[in-house]
């Protein structure tokens, strides 16, 4: 069964510093991997996803993530943090669903990112 581990429930960075949020997964099939962001009292917004092809995936708001099969990792990075990046970030892997399609998502526990001025 698939699972996701996010290292660090809280990460704090200074504005302008590098953001690195870690995600490791386990999957018995080639995974579809996702990063979602959640602002307080809101639903989840997709930042980026990996399905097949290029292992470096670029998303919205300057975020990117690299799929490393050998390390079973999909870490999220942003070169320069902005105050508006403060939110909770969730890594997810897709279960294999009906007829080989994507099924439900399995989420990590989330990492809350704080950005200091």
Partner 1 sequence: DTGVSQDPRHKITKRGQNVTFRCDPISEHNRLYWYRQTLGQGPEFLTYFQNEAQLEKSRLLSDRFSAERPKGSFSTLEIQRTEQGDSAMYLCASSRTGWETQYFGPGTRLLVL
Q: Which residues bind partner 1 (CB under 8 A)?
A: 4, 9, 36, 41-46, 49, 90, 92, 95, 97-99, 101-110
Of the pair 12, 102, the CB lying nearest partner 1 is at 102
Q: Closer to partner 1 at the Cβ: 19 or 36?
A: 36
Least Cβ distance, residue 46 to partner 1 (angstroms): 6
Least Å from the CB of residue 89 to partner 1: 10
SS (HEC) of the chain: CCEEEEECCEEEEECCCCEEEEEEEECCCCCCEEEEEECCCCCEEEEEEECCCCCEEECHHHCEEEEECCCCEEEEEECCCCHHHCEEEEEEEEEECHHHCEEEEEECCCEEEEEEC
Q: 107 with 4: CB under 8 angstroms? A: yes
Nearer to partner 1, 17 or 112 (CB): 112
Q: How far is the CB of 98 from partner 1 (least distance, A)?
A: 5
* Minimum gap (Å) between residue 25 Cβ and partner 1: 13
User: Which lies closer to partner 1 via its Cβ, residue 41 or residue 84?
Assistant: 41
């Amino acid at each position: 069964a698939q699972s996701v581990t996010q290292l660090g429930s809280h990460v704090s960075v200074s504005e302008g510093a590098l953001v690195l949020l870690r995600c490791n997964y386990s999957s018995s099939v080639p995974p579809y991997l996702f990063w979602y962001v959640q602002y307080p009292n809101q639903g989840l917004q997709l930042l980026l996803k990996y399905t097949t092809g290029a292992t470096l995936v670029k998303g919205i708001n300057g975020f990117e993530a690299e799929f490393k099969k050998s390390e079973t990792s999909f870490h999220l990075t942003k070169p320069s943090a902005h105050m508006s990046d403060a939110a909770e970030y969730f890594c997810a892997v897709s279960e294999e669903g009906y007829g080989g399609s994507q099924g439900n998502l399995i989420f990590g526990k989330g990492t809350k990112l704080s950005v200091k001025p």
